[in-house]
Amino acid sequence: MAAHLKKRVYEEFSKVVQIPHEEVPAKKLRLSKPSKSAALHVDLCKATNSTDALQYLLQFARKPVEAESVEGVVRILLEHYYKETDNSVRLKIASLLGLLSKTQGFSPDCIVDDVISTLNNEKSHQVLVQLLDTLLVIGTQLPENPAVRQRLIEVACKHLSDTYFGVRIKCLQLLGCLGTVDAPLTKDNEGQGMSTVRDVQNVISDYFGDQDPRVRTAAIKAMLQLHERGMKIHQIIYDQACRLLSDDYEQVRSAAVQMVWVLSQLYPESIVPIPSSNEEIRLVDDSFGKISHMVSDGSWMVRVQAAKTLGSMLQVSPHFLEQTLDKKLMSDLRRKRTAHERAKELYTSGEFSSGRKWADDAPKEKVDTNAVNLIASGACGAFVHGLEDEMYEVRIAAVEALCLLARSSPSFAEKCLDFLVDMFNDEIEEVRLQSIHVLREISTHITLREDQLDTVLAVLEDSSRDIREALHELLCYTNVSTKECIQLALLELLKNLNKYPTDRNSVWKCLKFLGSRHPTLVLPLVPELLSTHPYFDTPEPDMDDPAKMYWLWDAHCNWPPSPQLPGRKPLYGLDSVDSGGGSGSVEAAHLFLQQSLNRVSTVQNLEAPGAQDLLDFTIRDLQRLGQLQPELAGAADFSATYLRCQLLLMKALQEKLWNMAVPLCLKQNATATAAARQILEETYKLEFLYSGLESRQVATIHHVRLQAKALQLVLTARTRRGLEPLIGSCEKFLQDVESFQRLFLTELPHLQDSFVEKLLELMPRLSSCKPAELVKILQTTLRQSGLLQLRLPEQIHRATATIIEPTGESDNPLRFTSGLVVALDLDATLEHVQDPQNTVKVQVSELLYPDGQSHVIQPRPGDFRKPGPHRHRLITQVYLSHTAWTEPCQVEVRLLLAYSSSSSSSSSSSSKAGWSDSTDSLPPPEAAIEGTIPFSKSVKVFIMPKPARR
Amino acid sequence: MPEIKVTPLGAGQDVGRSCILVSIGGKNIMLDCGMHMGYNDDRRFPDFSYITQNGRLTEFLDCVIISHFHLDHCGALPYMSEMVGYDGPIYMTHPTKAICPILLEDFRKITVDKKGETNFFTSQMIKDCMKKVIPLNLHQTVQVDDELEIKAYYAGHVLGAAMVHIKVGSESVVYTGDYNMTPDRHLGAAWIDKCRPDILISESTYATTIRDSKRCRERDFLKKVHETIERGGKVLIPVFALGRAQELCILLETFWERMNLKAPIYFSTGLTEKANHYYKLFITWTNQKIRKTFVQRNMFEFKHIKAFDRSYADNPGPMVVFATPGMLHAGQSLQIFKKWAGNEKNMVIMPGYCVQGTIGHKILNGQRKLEMEGRATLDVKLQVEYMSFSAHADAKGIMQLIRMAEPRNMLLVHGEAAKMEFLKGKIEQEFNINCYMPANGETETVTTNPSVPVDISLNLLKREMALGGPLPDTKKPRTMHGTLIMKENSLRLVSPEQALKELGLNEHQLRFTCRVQLQDPHSDSDTLHRIYTHLKSVLKGYTIQHLPDSTVMVESIVIKLSSSAEDPNTKVLLLSWSYQIVTRYVTNIVITKH
């Protein structure tokens, strides 16, 4: 742990080095260098015994070292190393060498020789391990240096025959990280006269048979490392790897499973013989069989590994694949049909619900004794075992593997259906949920039979909301075979609705999809459902009746016209549900969008009023388009907002006020200032509210923001007196320009003829000139620069959020004792939000009431679920509290999207900063601009804090 | 050659009264001490007279090990220890120790109080017997005496069921008892490490069966219960008090919880409540789910399952009742059955096997009219369902266990002969190991090839390793030079020098001498000189010295010359060399040259 922390310190430190390059004067560095190494030297000389020395070294390790002084420090350390007799001190020095060589900006090739020479003289095994580790660090730091690499490999080979397992492990790691396949490695066995040229793989694979399991594991890992580095592993290793699958130690078996898998991916088509017979099979099939065998291994870690691995072996032949679900049943040596088979037969024979009698499953035919293979040879029944495993980790892995395999093979999907449906009954909720999700994913391949549907629908009564909603989702995508199935589903869903009214939205949606998927099956049910059936003939229509209607309606849209049906419109005025035009119009709309944008690009050629009108119209068009075409809503909104920014900018610049004297135009100035502020706000929305942006668009947005900032600067210059504030803001602006240049270096060629380009041209002059001059330049550049054309990316989506619960319709206030808390259930759907765990916040603000305070709550990460791609569900509780009120009053709840400008440029830095435990805290790389964007409609909730009774 | 002898006293090609004697490394161990449910006479208990005709068993047995609390594995224990006489240690796991006396007491009550048998063990005997029990923990190695050690592994099957690994020196035997390789709702699957025993003694109840997935059965069961409840019917589930009953309870309890059902579930009282208490305590012996969630809530603290009262049977509305005994032959389950049989909305679910002649067996076979005592008949209108929930390993499970443990020999017990025959064939074919299936009273002898451990000093080992060249050809055997000392039951390999020192012996140099007669007219010194020059020309690369005391040294070979007194021409050449490999070659040359 200590070592780990120290590493962290150095990592932190490595950032520190980066900054001095730019800002901190070099002189400072030089000052600190001698003091650092000298201090160490003095400390080490002072040390009278090894414990003291160790203490000094430990203290030293806590502080960072500059790149320039590393070498000096290393020399001192080495000097002390030679003198030191105590193992632990030498060990610490060796580990420090490794840490130091990681320092950024320091090239460790100068200390390779020293480390290797110490290595040759070292007697203690532990220190040897540490030294080899140091070499490993150095080797990974110098990937481009073949000479060093060759030397290190030689060292590794030399020490491979050490008696201590740790040394062998480190050597193997070295070989794995640095070895190359093409270069022959060493001449081995020189003593016996015959010199064979061997390569790394040969050497490593020798250690597959080492006596120590840790070394065996390390050898396999090294081989895998070679593979990861892009070396081609020889097929000869396959046999050895397979033998290791039956090793006594679990970590060896686990690694061997990976090894076999890698080989099966490398040589799927080559042919291997089956031992004890003269048949041959494809390697991928063979390895599939072997890994399947591991699903019934003794160690659950290996079982998880094996089950996971199976999922990614897609090239396996269907014949083998289907065996994984095979489990021949027998009873007293007679073949017995599985429950699945019996269910299928019952179904096909037309007799559905027959109770099972005693000995109903009595075996029929006699099994040929020789044909029964008890021990599953090959892939037999791997998934049957995996799904029944004791550990739920294994079961989940098996379910996931089933999913992957079934997605690529429809026939397999059909077969695994029964097994997945069985998993709906698992004892662990996570497993049930996972299998429902999996079934949804493969549902395109399958059609549910009535008996299967029945089992699936039984889960609708589950008390867990997640499970029910997952099941609704599944039903949205399922195909069923008969009209009875549809009816069954409908009835069960209505039952579900009765039992759990909170599911209303989800059930409605489910019905809608179910109807539109099976129009022809719904058709014969219509008369019964609409009126003729007494079941629905209630005097007062049920509140939840729209559910049925939704469903009918959607099916209706796909029906063939038929005289016996009521017309479309009379269907209870549900036309607002109209899902819009057909898919053909999407193309046209897209074209329209493009054309509008192209048209706008000509705007700079127009006179001012014409240009403004054109923008106005285009914005209006785009907004309407967004409403009409949900597919393009994101793109249209995005463009419209962008154009609005441009329009505002244009308006602000074209005011005549620029020519007036300052005191005369205060009012106009106010509008321009407002415009600038609004543009800024809009740019943040543009940047953070839309997903699917590429750096090109981000650059454009930043460009607009820069323009807005320039505008602000100019306005400040005009209104404010006094130089002091102006100088500050000028400097800040110049920094902004610089950071823009840094961030979007690659995008600059696209920004031809733009504001920024012009600014950058003038940059040398700008940085030296006075504020007044700068303002003047900015003013002219702003007015000269034209509109930057917006190019839309492929997919662009606006993040939206809908609060489902609370509905805001309730007239009953939520009563609670003041000073205590009340929990408000919040249920919302988020679309196209990236990383909602960190960005989405809940804002609760009080209306009407005097203090009008608002506070923002960050939901827990566990409150977010992900029901589908680009979709999140937030189910959380908001805790409210307040002092007493005299009468109920509303509070407003809405969702906010938090952003910070730093998170867009270097998203990782902010999250990791919290981890650092070092004392010297780092300044944030850039002044982060943080803010929030409301992105949902607000919902009002009536609350009533009552005074506590004394 | 050392041997291991296995003799089943019960359970040899038979189910019931498991009792197996094992002699290993001079130790005698009794595995299980069960009774036969099918007999009421002497055949009920194992034939202990096989061990000794008269007198106590203590001096013949080193220990007794009980695998789990089912009566066919522990039913004869008080009889053996108290009535036949055994005072040695009895090993069983903690849950078995807790539950076993309850069952034994119940069994005693039925036989003595109900059937009126005499000459049966008493309550006091059960107590005395349990005092001799030493409890075991899982994976704990228990040293019975200096040489014999036992270790328990998890076996599934019922709470506290264990497999035992018995080891004497390097010989070992694994006895499985009853075990289950597929987990169920309350217990995990059996597990054993690769201990490579000489014999694996396995049960083989389901030697010829491969079972369907447990999930299908569970789902069917739950669906049937659920449907009946929804119809407003009552469900009767006759069970035996321990084992399956708890599994079904958990199953129903979680289902009720999941589905938010409200109908009451009742459990008939008595022995079960006591047993449930132990299930609550021995959480570590249950499966992953229960182990992980017991902190929030112990799964055996049932929320929906309440104690049954006789009067509840007449309550209106749906309910589920678990009642004993499991075959509907007497007691509470039969009473409830009589009450509910007339209504077709109701249902009875038989979760296990029913013996011929019981009502359970009759209704399962479709009989709709039952004759009760007193010539009354009972119309059976309710639905009758059969669900098998058995917790023995099936054929695949047995094979899986063999694969896990990798035994050198296999021995099948606790199963029917015909079925065993099939499995035996399969095992021999798949694993290529010997498989035995002795009948009761037959002794199976397995010779073992134990490895003999020898102590060696680390220095010697290192020195010899250094000679042999570098690693990694670890697979190749390597020869080494040393002296084996056998002293006081211990074997040690030491270097020759040390061996001499320890034994207090002096080192003896062996010298070989040889006389060769030559006919040579020269004087002695001349001849010697000629020999010297000759050898020098022949043996290049060897150090050859002509010493002043008229000897020639070739390496360490000494050559001396003397002429006989009678004939000065006949010279006698005396060669002398010590036993060394290098010198032998040279000596050969020296000899053959002349």
CB contact under 8 A, A332 and B208: yes
Residue in chain B lying closest to A249 (CA): B194
Peptide bond into B351 cis (omega under 30): no
Put simply, the answer to whether B213 touches A391 (Cβ < 8 Å) is: no
Position A627, amino acid: Q
- Asked if residue B538 lies in contact with residue B593, where contact means CB atoms within 8 angstroms, the answer is yes
Question: Which residues on A lie below 8 Å from B299 (Cβ)?
Answer: none
Q: Is the same domain home to B255 and B319?
A: yes
Looking at the predicted structure, is the pLDDT value of residue B335 above 80?
A: yes
Reported as type and span, the H/E element at residue B101 is: helix B94-108
3-state helix, strand, coil in chain A (%, to 5): 60, 10, 30
Alpha carbon distance A204, A180 (integer Å)? 12
Overall domain count for chain B: 4
- Between CA A843 and CA A855 the distance in angstroms is 6
Question: Mean per-residue pLDDT for A293-299?
Answer: 87
d(CA A257, CA A243): 11
Mean pLDDT of A56-75: 79
Rounded average pLDDT over A927-939: 72
Cα distances from B554 to residues B512, B513, B593, in angstroms, run 15, 14, 14
Residues of chain B contacting residue A463, judged by C-beta atoms under 8 Å apart: 257-260
CB contact under 8 A, B472 and A207: yes
Chain position carrying tokens 């004697």: B21
**Residues B378 and B369 sit within 8 Å (Cβ to Cβ):** yes
Instruction: List the Cα angle B383/B388/B392 in 5-degree steps.
Output: 165
Average pLDDT over residues A521-533: 67
Q: How many CA atoms lie within 13 A of B536 on its CB side?
A: 10
Query: Chain A interface, mutation test: which of B15, B139, B163, B215, most A Cβ atoms within 10 Å?
Result: B215
Mean pLDDT, residues A625-631: 79
> Is the per-residue pLDDT at A227 higher than 80?
yes
**Inter-chain residue contact B191 with A376, CB threshold 8 Å:** no
- Band (pLDDT 50/70/90 cuts) for residue B445 is very high
In this structure, the answer to whether residues B322 and B402 fall within a common structural domain is no
On the question of pLDDT at B223 being above 90, the answer is: no
Backbone angles phi, psi at A35, to 5 degrees: -60, -40
**pLDDT confidence of residue B517:** 79
Closest CA to A589 of A636, A548, A544, A555: A636
pLDDT in tens, B82-123: 999 999 999 999 999 998 998 898 888 878 877 778 788 899
Q: Predicted ipTM? A: 0.79
Among the ranges given (A35-49, A71-85, B186-200), the one the predictor scored with the smallest mean pLDDT: A35-49
Q: Which of B447, B464, B490 is the last residue of a domain?
A: B447
Same domain for B26 and B49: yes
CATH of the domain at B523: 3.30.310
Opening angle at CA A385, ends A379 and A389, nearest 5: 145
Mean pLDDT in chain B? Answer: 84
Alpha-carbon dihedral A156, A158, A163, A168, rounded to 10 degrees: 20
Query: Which CATH number does the domain housing residue B273 bear?
Result: 3.40.50.10890
What ranges do the domains of chain A cover? 36-182+198-263, 604-784, 799-901+928-946
* Top-confidence residue, B222 or A38: B222
Residues of B in contact with A428 (CB under 8 A): 289
CB contact under 8 A, A355 and B222: no
Is B472's CB within 8 Å of A340's CB?
no
Nearby residues of A536 by Cβ (< 8 Å), 6 or more positions away:
A529, A530, A545, A548
CATH label of the domain that carries residue B194: 3.60.15.10
Q: Is the peptide bond before B197 cis (omega within 30 degrees of 0)?
A: no
Average confidence (pLDDT) over A816-845: 81
Q: Which region among A295-309, A646-660, B238-252, B560-574 has the lowest average model confidence (pLDDT)?
A: A646-660
- Which of A210, A359, A461 is closest, CB to CB, to B260? A461
Q: Which token pair is A411?
A: 């026939």
Active-site residue list of B: 203
Per-residue pLDDT band for A456 (boundaries 50, 70, 90) equals: confident
Candidates B209, B250, B355, B382, partner chain A, best to mutate (most A CBs within 10 A): B209
Show the CA angle centred on residue B165, arms to residues B159 and B170, nearest 5°.
170
In a shared domain, residues B310 and B396: no
Chain-chain contact of A329 with B212 (C-beta, under 8 angstroms): yes
Does residue B245 sit in the same domain as residue B351?
A: yes
Higher pLDDT among residues A38 and B221, named by residue: B221
Q: Can you spell out the DSSP letters for A343-357?
A: HHHHHHTT----PPP
For residue A904, pLDDT over 50 is answered with no
* Local confidence band at B154 (pLDDT 50, 70, 90 cut-offs): very high
Nearest to A388 among B182, B383, B430 (CB): B182
From the list A206, A328, A360, the residue facing B210 with the nearest CB is A328
Residue reference for tokens 């694993």: B431
The 10s digit of each residue's pLDDT in A583-597 is 456 777 778 878 877
Cβ contacts of A330 on chain B, cutoff 8 Å: 208-210, 395
Kindly state the average pLDDT of the residues A494-520.
82
pLDDT higher than 80, residue A816: yes
Domains A36-182+198-263 and A799-901+928-946 equal at CATH topology level: no
What backbone phi and psi angles, to 5 degrees, belong to B175?
-115, 130
A61 pLDDT above the threshold of 70 = yes
- Considering the domain architecture, whether residues B163 and B291 belong to the same structural domain is answered as no
Mean pLDDT of chain A: 75
CB contact under 8 A, B386 and A389: no
Assess whether B99 and B7 both reside in one domain. yes
The fold for domain A799-901+928-946 equals Immunoglobulin-like (2.60.40)
pLDDT of residue A22: 44
SS3 A410: helix
Q: In terms of domains, do B271 and B369 share one?
A: yes
CA-CA distances (angstroms) from residue B10 to A851, B50, B304? Answer: 86, 11, 42
* pLDDT of A435 higher than 60: yes
Banded model confidence at residue A369, pLDDT cuts 50, 70, 90: low
Among B174, B181, B213, pick the best mutation site for testing chain A contact (most A Cβ within 10 A). B213
Average the pLDDT over each of A127-141, B152-166, B512-526 and give the range with the smallest value: B512-526
Q: What angle do CA A416, A420, A421 make, to 5 degrees?
A: 115
Contacts of B418 (CB under 8 A, 6+ apart): none
Same domain? B343 vs B397: no
Q: Do B97 and B20 share a structural domain?
A: yes
Structural domain boundaries, residue B488: 455-503
Residue A877 has pLDDT above 70, yes or no: yes
pLDDT of A376 higher than 50: no
Architecture (CATH level 2) of domain A36-182+198-263: Alpha Horseshoe (1.25)
Contacts of A733 (CB under 8 A, 6+ apart): A709, A710, A713, A774
User: What is the predicted pLDDT for the residue at A342?
Assistant: 60
Residue of chain A nearest B227, judged by CA positions: A458
- When pLDDT is averaged across residues A122-142 and rounded to a whole number, the result is 87
Is the pLDDT confidence value at B322 over 80? yes
CB atoms within 10 A of CB B224: 18
Contact list, A247 vs chain B (CB under 8 Å): none
Confidence of residue A846 (pLDDT cuts 50, 70, 90): low
Contacts of B350 in chain A (CB under 8 A): 358
pLDDT for A558 beyond 60: no
* Site from B193, B194, B208 to mutate, A interface, most A CB atoms within 10 angstroms: B208
For residue B174, give how far its alpha carbon lies from the nearest alpha carbon of chain A (Å): 17
Closest Cα in chain A, distance from residue B219 (Å): 7
Among residues of chain B, what percentage have pLDDT more than 90?
A: 25
Mean pLDDT of B72-79: 90
pLDDT at A921: 35
Q: Chain A: nearest CA to B136, how far in angstroms?
A: 23
B76 and B162 share a domain? yes
What distance in Å separates the CA atoms of residue B295 and residue B298, rounded to the nearest whole number?
A: 7
